Structure 1
Amino acid sequence: MKNNSTKIIAFILMAILICACNAVKRVPDGKNLLVKNNILVNGKLTNDETADNQMYQKPNGTLLGYRLRLNLYNLANLNPDSTYQTKFKKKPGKYERMSKIYSAKQVDRLGQSFYYKGIHEFLKNTGEPPVIIDTSKTKKSLLRLKYYYFNNGFFDVKTDYTIDSIGNKKAEINYNITTGPAYIIDTISTKIMSPALDSLYKTNTEPSFVKSGNQYKTSDFEEEKNRITTYFRNHGAYFFQPTYVTFDIDTISKKNKANVTLVINNNNIQERDSSRTEPFKLYTISDVNIYTDYSSANAKKKPSDSTSYNNFNLYSFKELKYKPRAITDAIFISKGSTFADFRTTLSSRYLNNLKIFNYPSIQYEVDKRDPTAQSLIANVYLTPRKKYSFGTTFDVTHSNIQDFGIGASISQTIRNVFNRAETLEISARLNIGSSRDMANPNDNFFNVSEYGLDMKLNFPRILLPFGTEKIIPKSMIPSTQITSGFSKQRNIGLDKENFTGGISYNWSPKRHNTAKLELLNAQFVRNLNPGNYFNVYTSSYDDLNDIASTYNTNAEVDGNNNLTIPKGTTQFTNQVLTQQTTLRPGDAQYQEVESIEERRIRLTENDFILATSYTFTKTTKKDLADNNFYQFRTKIESAGSLLSAVSAIGNLPKNSRGNYEIFNLEYSEYIKTEFDYIKHWDFGKEKVLAVRSFFGIAIPFGNSNYIPFSRSYYSGGSNDNRAWQPYALGPGSTNAVNDFNEANMKIALSGEFRFKIFGDVKGAIFADAGNIWNVLDNVIDEKAKFNNLNDLDEIALGTGFGLRYDLSFFVIRLDLGFKTYNPAHAKGDRWFKEYNFGHSVLNFGINYPF
């Protein structure tokens, strides 16, 4: 408590010190600090962000209305070296006295210390100098505003500005804009000099950005330029560029209206000292030449090996190392086809996706053999990557299980394995970590470890015994991936061995859509130390031990009369469930023991899962900077149905529990589906609202009455409900009675408003809602079940705020979540019951949660 009081007092004193700073401390006499820019359009204040972005000068940034960075800058001593030297000039003997105690060199170095200099450098660099009104920049801003409104159709715009003083050395600038009426596009006509382009233009059915009746906007004309250029270049006009598209605007004969003439001139050809014009031509491809091992060193050499395949010419400066189809399948430019930019782009994407070439280049030249000069030769230059490459990684990690972890991996990549552009990656990994949640009798810091081997073999095509070109054409960039892996974990759960394998198909139906079909996904999880269950799941042990303190008859106990693990716990559970104690079915404590045993069996049994799944993802996100998009992902997974069908057809016997087995192990059977939707709204000025909704359910049937732990859902954590620790929320209203709580149905909703604080530091306020439940499985605890829509009142709500530091390539994130509505409490006592710092959860994360 004393430490907390000290921190609070220090924080208050720092706040008072900062607030006491004079904002105009470093504003010269006769100058003014820019406090605000007001843009008044026809006498009314506007919040148009684009108009605001025309300003050459903007006020100092604020945090909740306070100019924090400006005041930090004002706290700094801008000349700490001079101040340090002045200290000795005022007291001449001080330098000599200090030099005798230390040394002259140490005294000089003291002036460079953090106390004398470093702190001021920090304040200066972190802070922000005052923005002092500069009238020359104000006039430039006014001119940019005039152009901005002119480009939006206000041809008679008038502008001026005034500077209003609002206190000592403080002022705001008023930018006064009088727009006049906006000009409207009236008639649209065309003047296209080249007959070939004129015909193309008339056959184009795409809607124009420039339409009669619309307000004049320069941006619409730019969009129309690009639209016309794209259409022409995708239909054979190789030499066409946007500069050939111009617009004549006639406003003389109309009042507030403009007649538009689209003008496209002939091709301008530069020939040494002269130039000439001629109509544009439409080109076809006469040859496609592929240089499979091109480099700058052999640019002037002649290829030594060549072959032709499906009208493609393949050349190599050494022996040709690829089967022709492996390369030609990636080329969408074909002999006899019309030149089209989109074919070039698609070919480059596919070639890059092969991951066996560096920066493929596609160039065109006019075929001199064609007397009409309307043919192009496409030259594809491919520079192979090294066949073998070795890689290493080293990571510091944080996860739901590990508080701290160190991971390392080595990998070997082999390219063009079967001479058809396949890639094989073999990797080994090792991770050691620390976890407070794991059984740790020796109190070792690194009490968690995992090592594994993985293999991935990628084929740049759909690998099936029948053709799929009609269903999944090569323009969708299909691929097949075969994977296998093995990992062994120590003190993660019950010490596990995990064997995986599978085959999956990936393709892109559209530019921003992806599809994945996992034809087979096999996983075998073997628990190496099931007897350690109650050492790991300590809350279950405590509950069982409490009951045993009253009802134990002859189960083994230690010197403190606690059940031994695993012998004593097993004996007592058997006593209760075989009614050797006074507990009977229907008793609350009998049901609790039954529930504990049900969960122990579920989490200690070995699992075999053979699943098939389909995942579809769609996004409108254009690039990393796009903050106005949505993303939708859905997945459906079926496990065990194929094995059950084979077992039924083969009339295979069932075990004593009425289930089929494979390799003496009951396999899992379930159906699982998920829906995930993310939406971002960009409000400008680095303000973004992001929301996410998720629903997932896995229903066991047939050979199973529960879902394996690895396929279950949990709630809480840095990417989920941030007011709860991972696995600490739910199921239902159970108050997370177990360690690592999980269930087979989940609902999650999150909203987050992100904003800039200063520099690369961003802030956020958020709300997370959701929970997990058990449904249609063998869990008997009614509090954990989802029975009807009334159970939606068990959706937990967490709210809070966070800080993010943007490092460009990733974001470091801290979020503090508060339990706002906790369904674990009795109804009527759930709101703000634990809304305090003592019950808050601090989350550390990398990148945004969604």
Structure 2
Amino acid sequence: MKKNSTKILAFILIAIFICACNAVKRVPDGKNLLTENDILVNGKSSNDEEASNQMYQKPNSHILGYKLRLNLYNMAKLNPDSSYQAKFKNNPGKYERMSKILSAKQVDRLGQSFWYKGWHEFLKSTGEAPVIVDTSKVKKSLLRLKFYYFNNGYFNVKTDYSIDSTGFKRARVNYNITTGPGYILDTIRRKIATPALDSLYLTSKDPSFLKSGNQYKKSDFEDEKNRISTYFRNHGAYFFQPTYVTFDIDTIGKKNKADVDLIVKNNTIQEKDSSRTEPFKLYTISDVNIYTDYSPANAKNKITDSTTYNNFNLYSYNKLKYKPRAITDAVFITKGGSFADFRTTLSSRYLSNLKIFNYPSIQYEVDKRDPNGESLIANVYLSPRKKYSFGASFDVTHSNIQDFGIEYSLSETIRNVFNRAETLEISTRLNIGSSKDMANPNNNFFNVSEYGFDMKLNFPRVLLPFGTEKIIPKSMIPSTIMAVGFSKQRNIGLDKENFTGGLSYLWTPKRLNSVKFDLLNAQYVRNLNPDNYFNVYTSSYNSLNDIAKTYNTVPTNVDTAGNLIIEDGTTGFTNDVLTGQTDLVPTDNDYQEVESIEERRMRLTENDFILASSYTFTKTTKKDLADNNFYLFKTKIETAGSLLSLISVAGGLPKNANGNYEIFNLEYSEYIKTEFDYIKHWDFGKEKVLAVRTLFGIAIPFGNSDYIPFSRSYFGGGSNDIRAWQPYDLGPGSTGSVNDFNEANMKILLSGEFRFKIAGDVKGALFADAGNIWNVLDNVTDEKARFSGLSDLQEIALGTGFGLRYDLSFFVIRLDMGFKTYNPAHEAGDRWFKEYNFGHSVLNFGINYPF
């Protein structure tokens, strides 16, 4: 063992030495590879990322210190064409011999093949050329650094640089910055030429970015410009722009302090060859004209249909196809109101949200009828989308049930169904997939399938018999969705038919907040093949079969090998045990095990009817897809069955033999469920991101139920969960995954992931996932599965690992390998690192990031 360790260590050292030499392979003599930029601010190294971004040259990228892309580049032949031709110049007979075998034309083409040329082109494009220290670029970087610190208030900054050798053909550039004292803002005065704007400025409640005592920062001045411009333009100043705001900085006679004059000039009006200035005017809206079927082709045609509704003028080049309120509810620019940018933006958002128009155009013109010239006419140009549109999609999918799936869907969209901007979407889908967890006697790759039908009707308003404007104003862009759906699964567990229907309301209280209120959400799940239970849940079968080998007394219950026959044998033996026909009594552990198996079988094979209502609130600070410095908070509360119970009690309906109410001869579910989900991302720059997710969820049965339906329960494991375990393979508690599909009604999850760039579009990640599921306040009696107190937090599992991601712009392909770091299924004191090896690792395939 000692000799092997020595050999391995020697191999690693040799490999490191070869890679180190290879790094400077393409560095010319007399030049140096840039190994580091060291920014020394007042003698101390700085990690200021913004300062680092001023560099014209940065060292080659690396992964944990290894310059992968540089070494890939150095492996390539820079001129593969010349190298290929050189083979024949040095050996002329070789070309003739190859020409006889392949022909001269094929020999020439061989030089353009992937093996001779394409491979090296790939290495060059994937790799990264060595960054050579260039003093001209160093000086440019130094100048940018000087401006950077000057713009942050260091008006007396001094800069210098030095280049230090760090090895053979290697060098580090030191940027020496002596900032001097930072200048502080002292007296701040305003000089606003237009009296109306000066008065308006005093009414602003938003705090200024410029405050006496703060250090000078150029960015604060830019933010203040935009703040003032936004405020003025939202209060009538149509022609105002940020360029009208300037600042006069005075440091004369001041020691490290600066007085600031905020200057807002009058409006400049260009008239042919001359210009003049006049005070800004605050404009009001005199008319709002809406052109409902505008296009460049009919812009010069005559209006043939028009109407006026609530002070809005609606025009159409053809017959008006919309009820006026459907359009006017989406326009927030009102006659007699002040001009405001935010009303324009809000109108554009709402009109786009109707999904019956292309992106609207809203333009303003000065109303020449106003002798004071203080009125604007708002013209809203709407270009209708086609009433009918057909769509088809082909998707590759991955889920907790399917390892790989292919889905094909067809959809038809009908717009303006009832002439009030309603949208009807009808779609069908077919999915075939592969799952190693499902029964597959014929060993077919595609062993599961599903098809379905969905219909969704969207109303761009709150659809209720009473007014809701005071509670949910139209500025919150409310909508109502009625939806029905049907799906059928084959070869997935017990096979299912799933009927759904719902009535939902959506609105956005603020720009980045959203609310969804499901007034009614109905689901009926019908198991098509309940007799297949023990073929699917093999762990339950094995446990029952082991007990039967000792206590079964009926020969017809077993096959020739002595195993229980599915379904007659399993049902017969279970009935014999529970009716006292065997030697087992209720106090025996095996009796209780059979009883538990039967309770779980009954729960998972019976049909479910759920009538629920829920409220979901989501808040995020994510501005766009490129934003990697944000948080998202989502909470949901759901209650089911209470309405049906109230009706049953009020109607005096009888209870069944179990003491529960039924609807359509089926016991309905009754529970309350709540979830809290929080995601936070920190962007450290250079494509390094730390992402954290926490989740807590609990569902409590009551009244008509003593358990949670399978479709509403929690599970652990999978590509978007605790990645060291397969889906449904973790918990509950410390039970050690005794069932094939483990679920429970409470869940805790905490995940962290550090993401970084490897090369090009290839990204890497290091992650840790912790959590588990438990049963609480339901009919499960196994103490190992139940959460009884804070001491059960010791059963939180921990999985760690690494992942690779390839960014295809429109989605990310993800591979994660998780290792069981702490497994609560083992005995206490024997849970850490017992399965921390590749043999027990779990490889997860996923689409997009897990959170």
TM-score of the aligned structures, taking structure 1 as reference length: 0.97
Q: 3-state SS of the aligned residue for 1:358?
A: coil
Contact 1:598–1:779 (CA under 8 A) maintained in structure 2: no
> Which residue does 2:317 correspond to in 1?
317
The 5 Å alignment of 1:46-61 reads: 46-61=46-61
> Which residue does 1:326 correspond to in 2?
326
Task: Tell me the CA shift for residue 782 of structure 1.
Answer: 2.1
> Which residue does 2:404 correspond to in 1?
404
- CA deviation map 1:490-542 (0-9, x unaligned): 01111111000010000011111111110000000001110111111112111
The more displaced of 539-548 and 328-337 is: 539-548
The more displaced of 553-562 and 575-584 is: 553-562
C-alpha separation between the residues in 2 aligned to 1:14 and 1:582?
71
| Counterpart residue identity of residue 152, structure 1 | N
C-alpha separation between the residues in 1 aligned to 2:61 and 2:443?
49
Q: 3-state SS of the aligned residue for 1:791?
A: helix
C-alpha separation between the residues in 2 aligned to 1:750 and 1:559?
50
The 5 Å alignment of 1:375-414 reads: 375-414=375-414
The more displaced of 274-283 and 800-809 is: 800-809
Matched, 1:269 2:288: no
> Which residue does 1:206 correspond to in 2?
206
Contact 1:153–1:183 (CA under 8 A) maintained in structure 2: yes
> Which residue does 1:38 correspond to in 2?
38
- CA deviation map 1:439-464 (0-9, x unaligned): 22233222211111100000000000
Q: 3-state SS of the aligned residue for 2:574?
A: helix
Q: 3-state SS of the aligned residue for 1:783?
A: coil
> Which residue does 2:643 correspond to in 1?
642
C-alpha separation between the residues in 1 aligned to 2:450 and 2:89?
64
> Which residue does 1:351 correspond to in 2?
351
| Counterpart residue identity of residue 396, structure 2 | V
Q: 3-state SS of the aligned residue for 1:716?
A: coil
CA distance 1:203–1:642, shift in 2 (3 Å): same
The more displaced of 795-804 and 720-729 is: 795-804
C-alpha separation between the residues in 1 aligned to 2:293 and 2:836?
65
Task: Tell me the CA shift for residue 118 of structure 1.
Answer: 2.6
The more displaced of 745-754 and 98-107 is: 98-107
Q: 3-state SS of the aligned residue for 2:722?
A: coil
C-alpha separation between the residues in 2 aligned to 1:124 and 1:637?
56
Task: Tell me the CA shift for residue 384 of structure 1.
Answer: 0.5
- CA deviation map 1:542-585 (0-9, x unaligned): 11111111111115222222111111110011111112111111
| Counterpart residue identity of residue 514, structure 1 | S
- CA deviation map 1:177-217 (0-9, x unaligned): 11111111111111111111111112223211011111111
Task: Tell me the CA shift for residue 12 of structure 1.
Answer: 8.0
Matched, 1:830 2:831: yes
| Counterpart residue identity of residue 185, structure 1 | L
C-alpha separation between the residues in 1 aligned to 2:383 and 2:784?
63
Task: Tell me the CA shift for residue 769 of structure 1.
Answer: 0.5
C-alpha separation between the residues in 2 aligned to 1:18 and 1:322?
74
C-alpha separation between the residues in 2 aligned to 1:513 and 1:639?
25
Task: Tell me the CA shift for residue 17 of structure 1.
Answer: 9.5
C-alpha separation between the residues in 1 aligned to 2:532 and 2:664?
25
- CA deviation map 1:221-260 (0-9, x unaligned): 0000000000100000000000000001111121211111
> Which residue does 1:674 correspond to in 2?
675
> Which residue does 1:525 correspond to in 2?
525
Contact 1:21–1:71 (CA under 8 A) maintained in structure 2: no
Contact 1:18–1:72 (CA under 8 A) maintained in structure 2: no
Task: Tell me the CA shift for residue 759 of structure 1.
Answer: 2.2
- CA deviation map 1:728-765 (0-9, x unaligned): 00111111111111111111111111222232222211
The more displaced of 728-737 and 164-173 is: 164-173
> Which residue does 2:783 correspond to in 1?
782
Q: 3-state SS of the aligned residue for 1:378?
A: strand
Task: Tell me the CA shift for residue 63 of structure 1.
Answer: 1.1
Matched, 1:658 2:659: yes
| Counterpart residue identity of residue 795, structure 1 | I
| Counterpart residue identity of residue 81, structure 1 | D
> Which residue does 2:814 correspond to in 1?
813
> Which residue does 2:743 correspond to in 1?
742
Matched, 1:508 2:501: no
> Which residue does 2:714 correspond to in 1?
713
The more displaced of 50-59 and 79-88 is: 79-88
The 5 Å alignment of 1:410-809 reads: 410-554=410-554, 555-809=556-810
- CA deviation map 1:321-359 (0-9, x unaligned): 000000000000000000000111111111111111001
Q: Which runs of 5+ in 2 are unaligned?
A: 1-7
C-alpha separation between the residues in 1 aligned to 2:623 and 2:406?
34
| Counterpart residue identity of residue 664, structure 1 | N
The more displaced of 828-837 and 172-181 is: 172-181
Q: 3-state SS of the aligned residue for 1:383?
A: coil
Contact 2:476–2:509 (CA under 8 A) maintained in structure 1: yes
Task: Tell me the CA shift for residue 803 of structure 1.
Answer: 1.6
C-alpha separation between the residues in 1 aligned to 2:432 and 2:204?
62
Q: 3-state SS of the aligned residue for 2:632?
A: strand
Task: Tell me the CA shift for residue 18 of structure 1.
Answer: 6.4
C-alpha separation between the residues in 1 aligned to 2:370 and 2:654?
75
C-alpha separation between the residues in 2 aligned to 1:21 and 1:330?
67
Q: 3-state SS of the aligned residue for 2:564?
A: coil
- CA deviation map 1:276-301 (0-9, x unaligned): 11110000000000000000101122
Task: Tell me the CA shift for residue 702 of structure 1.
Answer: 0.9
Q: 3-state SS of the aligned residue for 1:357?
A: coil
Question: What is the Cα-based RMSD across aligned positions, in Å?
Answer: 1.6
The more displaced of 364-373 and 180-189 is: 180-189
Q: 3-state SS of the aligned residue for 1:713?
A: coil
Contact 2:398–2:847 (CA under 8 A) maintained in structure 1: no
C-alpha separation between the residues in 2 aligned to 1:16 and 1:53?
30
C-alpha separation between the residues in 1 aligned to 2:838 and 2:367?
75
C-alpha separation between the residues in 1 aligned to 2:14 and 2:759?
19
The more displaced of 777-786 and 788-797 is: 777-786
Task: Tell me the CA shift for residue 305 of structure 1.
Answer: 0.4
> Which residue does 2:253 correspond to in 1?
253
Task: Tell me the CA shift for residue 20 of structure 1.
Answer: 6.0
Contact 2:126–2:759 (CA under 8 A) maintained in structure 1: no
C-alpha separation between the residues in 1 aligned to 2:192 and 2:814?
56
C-alpha separation between the residues in 2 aligned to 1:665 and 1:13?
71
> Which residue does 1:147 correspond to in 2?
147
Q: 3-state SS of the aligned residue for 2:557?
A: coil
- CA deviation map 1:18-42 (0-9, x unaligned): 6265211111122111111111112
- CA deviation map 1:411-434 (0-9, x unaligned): 000000000000000001111112
Give the number of aligned pairs: 842
Matched, 1:847 2:848: yes
The more displaced of 297-306 and 110-119 is: 110-119
C-alpha separation between the residues in 2 aligned to 1:685 and 1:412?
44
Task: Tell me the CA shift for residue 110 of structure 1.
Answer: 2.5
Q: Which runs of 5+ in 1 are unaligned?
A: 1-7
Contact 1:498–1:523 (CA under 8 A) maintained in structure 2: yes
The more displaced of 76-85 and 513-522 is: 76-85
C-alpha separation between the residues in 1 aligned to 2:589 and 2:185?
79
C-alpha separation between the residues in 2 aligned to 1:777 and 1:417?
47
> Which residue does 2:361 correspond to in 1?
361
C-alpha separation between the residues in 2 aligned to 1:286 and 1:830?
75
Contact 1:21–1:75 (CA under 8 A) maintained in structure 2: no
Q: 3-state SS of the aligned residue for 2:784?
A: helix
C-alpha separation between the residues in 1 aligned to 2:349 and 2:362?
12
Q: 3-state SS of the aligned residue for 1:781?
A: coil
C-alpha separation between the residues in 2 aligned to 1:199 and 1:733?
69
TM-score of the aligned structures, taking structure 2 as reference length: 0.97
C-alpha separation between the residues in 2 aligned to 1:197 and 1:468?
37
C-alpha separation between the residues in 2 aligned to 1:32 and 1:13?
24
- CA deviation map 1:649-688 (0-9, x unaligned): 0000111111111111111111111111111122222222
> Which residue does 2:62 correspond to in 1?
62
Q: 3-state SS of the aligned residue for 2:99?
A: helix
| Counterpart residue identity of residue 818, structure 1 | F
C-alpha separation between the residues in 1 aligned to 2:368 and 2:161?
62
C-alpha separation between the residues in 2 aligned to 1:17 and 1:353?
61
Contact 1:687–1:756 (CA under 8 A) maintained in structure 2: yes
CA distance 1:18–1:781, shift in 2 (3 Å): farther
